[in-house]
Amino acid sequence: MPKPALAESLLRKPRHVGAPVARAPALVGIALLVLEIGAAGAQVKLLPTEEAFRFSARALDARTVEASFAVADGYYLYRDKLRFSATPPEVSLGPVALPAGKVKEDQFFGKVETYRDRVVVRLPLDHAAAGQAVTVRAESQGCADVGVCYPPNAQSVTVTLPQAGAPPGPLIDANPPRKRWFN
Partner 1 sequence: MNEESPRPPRGRRWLAYAIAALVALGLGVYAFRLLPDPAPGSRDSGPLLAVSLPDVDGHPQSLSQWRGRLLVVNFWATWCAPCKEEMPMFVEAQSAHGAKGLQFVGIAVDDAVKVRQFAKEIGLNYPALIGGYGAMELSKTLGNTIMALPFTIVIDPKGKVVLTQLGPVRPAQLERLVADFL
The footprint of partner 1 (CB under 8 A) covers 8, 11-12, 15-16, 18-19, 22-23, 25-26, 28-30, 32-33, 35-36, 39-40, 44, 46-49, 81, 106-109, 141, 143-144, 146-152
By beta-carbon proximity to partner 1, the closer residue of 34 and 166 is: 34
The C-alpha atoms of residue 39 and residue 128 are separated, in whole angstroms, by 53
The C-alpha atoms of residue 8 and residue 32 are separated, in whole angstroms, by 34
By beta-carbon proximity to partner 1, the closer residue of 6 and 30 is: 30
The C-alpha atoms of residue 60 and residue 163 are separated, in whole angstroms, by 10
Annotate 125-168 with DSSP letters as a single string: EES--TT-EEEEEEEE-EEETTTEEPPPEEEEEEEEPPPTTPPP
CB of 16 to partner 1, least distance (A): 6
By beta-carbon proximity to partner 1, the closer residue of 3 and 15 is: 15
By beta-carbon proximity to partner 1, the closer residue of 73 and 95 is: 73
By beta-carbon proximity to partner 1, the closer residue of 47 and 60 is: 47
The C-alpha atoms of residue 146 and residue 151 are separated, in whole angstroms, by 16
Q: Which residues have a Cβ under 8 Å from the Cβ of 69 and sit 6 or more positions away?
A: 53, 54, 55, 56, 77, 115, 118, 119, 138, 140
The C-alpha atoms of residue 144 and residue 125 are separated, in whole angstroms, by 32
CB of 83 to partner 1, least distance (A): 14
CB of 36 to partner 1, least distance (A): 5
The C-alpha atoms of residue 76 and residue 69 are separated, in whole angstroms, by 10
CB of 4 to partner 1, least distance (A): 11
CB of 25 to partner 1, least distance (A): 5
CB of 110 to partner 1, least distance (A): 11
By beta-carbon proximity to partner 1, the closer residue of 146 and 166 is: 146
